[in-house]
Structure 1
Amino acid sequence: MRSILVLDDDKVQHLLLRKRVNLITGKSNLVSFERPGDALNYLSANKVDMILTDLNLGVIDGWEFVDELGKVDFQGKIYFLTGSIVSEDRKRAEADPRISGYFEKPISEFDLIQILGA
């Protein structure tokens, strides 16, 4: 069973993703955080297979969070799930080898299945 960390400042997104992931996988080990600092603290002591993060996180953005992941030696996959429609963000994500995918919210069932199967 894969372990997944969700980082989004919107609690509704946490609930929606948990329900959808559980429907697709039957069971998941999913932890959710609203604040990047809390997620980084968790990652400093725990391993996860993938991170699903928003780009707009309030205190810092998703790009800054990805940069901070180097300090906790994260080795898994990173996916952006964002409401941002800024084309530069998509281009930057596609060019960055640390990013495994960029998806707009609300994420489609097809795209979520693709992420969970990766």
Structure 2
Amino acid sequence: MSAATIGILGRCAHCQRTLLLEPWQLNAIAINEPFTCSHCENTLQLNDPKQIRRFKSLDSLALLRASTLVMVCTALLVALVMEWVGMLSVMEQLNFSLLAIFVYFAVVRFARHRQHITLTLEAAKAHVD
């Protein structure tokens, strides 16, 4: 998955440019490692606790789409079996299926909206080894 599909941007504290974060930069942010800006070559790091929490919450959004897909497929299969057994009419099964598909697309849209964030990257503090 590329950074463009993830939609995470970073704003450099030095040059004030917005960067499309590469996967290796996202990995550096995840393990709290500084990295260099691709424009001004200064060292950057994510230090804001609120943004760190929001960045780490993206992991749960990745599972949301897959689990919603499994839920919708199960619901469609159950509705199909209920219609086949005679517990639902064809029209009720169609309405149920359309509702399940609508819920899936609403959840996917919500997840994509939550993924598009711009992180404020601050100057990295010197590491003491």
TM over 0.5: no
Determine which structure has greater relative contact order: mean sequence separation of CA pairs < 8 Å that are 6+ residues apart, divided by chain length. 2
TM-score interval (norm. to shorter): under 0.3
Higher strand share: 1
Larger radius of gyration: 2
Which TM-score applies when normalising by structure 2? 0.19
